[in-house]
Amino acid sequence: MEKYYILKKMPNILSALRIVLALLLLLWAYLDQPIVFVINYLVCGVSDAIDGPLARKYNATSDLGAKLDSLADFTFFCLTFVALIFVMKFTIDTNTLLCVFIAAAFKLFNFIVTKVKFKQYNIMHTIGNKFGGLCLFSSVPVFVLLNGFNIIALIVLASLMILPAIEESIILFTTKEYDVNRKSLFVKKVHTEE
């Protein structure tokens, strides 16, 4: 019984752990430990990849879990950006910085709209958001180990973040009920028969 209880709490524990590990990214960046930074970063990513499936497998999904997951994702994204730009001093040209800023502004805008319109803090788990996030996630270790950004790769990544954010904006403005797990603008909630 106790083992099952722990398994039901594991998704939220992993999300909370991701917040702590995201804070540690700043330390590894400051101490100039790129290998430890990448390992810590990958552990954050794995925790993000498995918390949702674990919650569904053990019937442990909850509003708290969804909010904690979104907060952990947002914290992880922001602190990774801070570590790369302000601690590791990676440089970005103005046009690329503008693309990154637009992507971040859309994400923040959607976060605010979700709070105002639906009274909750969440980021939708659309296919586009997941794909863009996977591309962004995969690129960071490469940039860290190569000790810098590739400008073309950054512009492509920013585009992969902007397009799903625009899709999410459209969904937010055209729907009356919020569904954090909506797959895309073109796919509404999938109903399963029980």
Q: What is the pLDDT of residues 163-177, one digit of tens each?
A: 999 999 999 999 999
- Computed over every residue of the chain, the mean pLDDT equals 88
Neighbours of 104 (CB within 10 A): 17
Q: What is the mean pLDDT of residues 5-20?
A: 92
* pLDDT cut 90: percent of the chain above it: 50
Cβ pair 67, 121 in contact under 8 A: yes
pLDDT, tens digit, for every residue of 99-142? Answer: 778 888 998 999 999 999 999 878 888 999 889 888 888 999 99
Q: What is residue 189's predicted lDDT score, i.e. its pLDDT?
A: 65
Cα gap 192→194, rounded to integer Å: 6
Find the helix packing angle between 63-82 and 127-145, rounded to 10°.
30
Q: For residue 191, what pLDDT band results from cuts at 50, 70 and 90?
A: very low
Cβ pair 151, 48 in contact under 8 A: no
Q: pTM score, two decimals?
A: 0.75
pLDDT of residue 193 exceeding 50? no
124 or 188: whose pLDDT is higher?
124
Q: What is the mean pLDDT of residues 146-170?
A: 87
Reduced DSSP (H G I as helix, E B as strand, rest coil) percent helix, strand, coil of the chain, to 5: 75, 0, 25
